[in-house]
Amino acid sequence: MNPQQRNTTLGAFYASAFLWNNCMGMLQVLMPLYALSLGFSLLKISSLIALPALAEVAVRFLGSALSDRFGERRILQACYILMALAGALLLVAESFLLLLLVQSIAYFSRSNFWISVQSLASQLPGANLGKQLGRLSSCNYAGSLIGMNLGGVLAAFLGYRLSFLALTGLAIGSTLLGLALPQVEAKPKERSVWAITLGIGRFLRYRHIWLGILVSYAAAMPASLTQSIYPVYFARLDFGEQWIGAAISARSLTPILIGVMFGAAIATVRQRGIFALGVAGLGLSLIASGATERIIFSAACVALLGAAGAVMDLLYQVQTSEWSKAKDRSVAMASTGLGWVICPFTAPVIVAWLAEGHGFSVAFAATGAFLLLVAAGSRLWHRWLAPAELPAKG
């Protein structure tokens, strides 16, 4: 492949991921606000976010096995098509069940997208591993930032139907760009999908994989809460839809800078300090969120939340890439990324339950205090879960 072709395929890779994140960012803002406009309760809205995660474990592992059998390119192309389908269904969805179906399709796309796109990025030539994954992270967060802003603005000025139509159009664009994704090392053809899936058990036997799961759970908290709890919290504070979208989009602003500027600094040799810093950042941002009712300070809290989550997100990706071979990279990403499955199901429901019973301030304060305790115990968690010598790759 000559340099021009390589640049074209890399451009298609980053552009398609950027557009897909536009769509997901729009969906994260539009789904809870649209459900709220239909009269759904806070717990019902949280259920729209949480319930599809029940099936995500099976979907994630099956998708990772398919990715390690047929290649990341094909799985990413399928994810782009699924996002377009979810957008099209939103145009006719008005009941809880139809919205749940849309959210399930979007989650199906999301769970497989992250595995494949991170696995593909970790195999691209050039730069060190942290820098490669940092570039992808910045691209993803930039897409999410624009998408969340766009979702709020379109909903406020054009209504939900035209917003859903725009989302569908962007998803079709990512599908077309997905036809030109870069080629990486071919997957072994002699393995069956079933054999690859069974190999997941080997990864889950290792303690350091469970450390990765804990890191990915923390990484998932900003996305899980800003697409379920925060829009409703801001609506209760009487923020306009366009301001809600802008405040939530701050979650993606700081991670763009972290991916570009600090990606190369993320390494497993520094994992304990990075873990403590990231989890403490999550806790402090949640506590501060419940203590302010002004839009500018709320946006700052969401920005800190996003920065802390981005640090944890890069940490678990680097850990996984260093612990696995290219032929098993997708399955390894699915294993350590289980936190991204568990968190959307548990965190929104727990915080919503606390908010319904005691108010948002108490819910945010209690959750944040718990995270600070987890950060304080970083030495203990790493003593249990990060042995000095890791098993051989593959």
Compute the distance between CA of residue 65 and CA of residue 69 in angstroms, rounded to an integer: 6
Please choose, from the candidates 242, 226, 251, the residue with its C-alpha nearest in 3D space to the C-alpha of residue 163.
242
DSSP 183: P
What pLDDT band is residue 144 in, cutting at 50, 70 and 90?
confident
141 vs 306, residue with greater confidence:
306
Tokens of residue 3, six digits:
């340099």
Q: How far apart are CA 285 and CA 255, in angstroms?
A: 15
What are the residues whose beta carbons fall under 8 Å from the beta carbon of 390, sequence distance 6 or more?
206, 208, 323
Predicted confidence (pLDDT) at residue 394 exceeds the cutoff of 50: no
Tell me: pLDDT of 156 over 90.
Answer: no
The per-residue pLDDT for 391 is 46
Kindly list the structural domains of the chain, giving each domain's residue range(s) and its CATH number in brackets, ordered by start. Answer: 3-385 (1.20.1250.20)
- Cα distances (Å, whole numbers) of residue 230 to 151, 278, 292, 346, 371: 15, 20, 13, 15, 18
Q: What is the pLDDT of residue 53?
A: 64
Q: Residue 168's pLDDT band (boundaries 50, 70, 90)? A: very high
Average pLDDT of span 386-393: 51
Between 89 and 327, the more confident residue is: 89
- On whether the CB atoms of residues 112 and 79 are closer than 8 A, the answer is yes
- Please report, for residues 51, 75, 100, 123, 312, the alpha-carbon distance to residue 351 in angstroms, rounded to integers and kept in the order given: 15, 33, 20, 38, 21
Burial 354-379 (b: 16+ CB within 10 A, else e): bbeeeebbebbbbbbeebbebbeebe
Candidate ranges 198-207, 216-225, 233-242; pick with highest mean pLDDT: 216-225
Per the prediction, the chain carries an average pLDDT of 85
pLDDT greater than 90 at residue 138:
no
Per the structure block, which two tokens stand in for 390? 């890791």
Measured CA to CA, the distance from residue 242 to residue 58 in angstroms comes to: 36
Residues 322-328 have a mean pLDDT of: 78
What tens digit of pLDDT does each residue of 270-321 get? 788 899 999 999 999 999 999 988 889 999 999 999 999 989 988 998 888 8
Provide the whole-model pTM. 0.74
Based on its alpha-carbon atoms, the radius of gyration of the chain, rounded to whole angstroms, reads: 20
pLDDT at 354: 93
pLDDT grade for 175, boundaries at 50, 70 and 90: very high
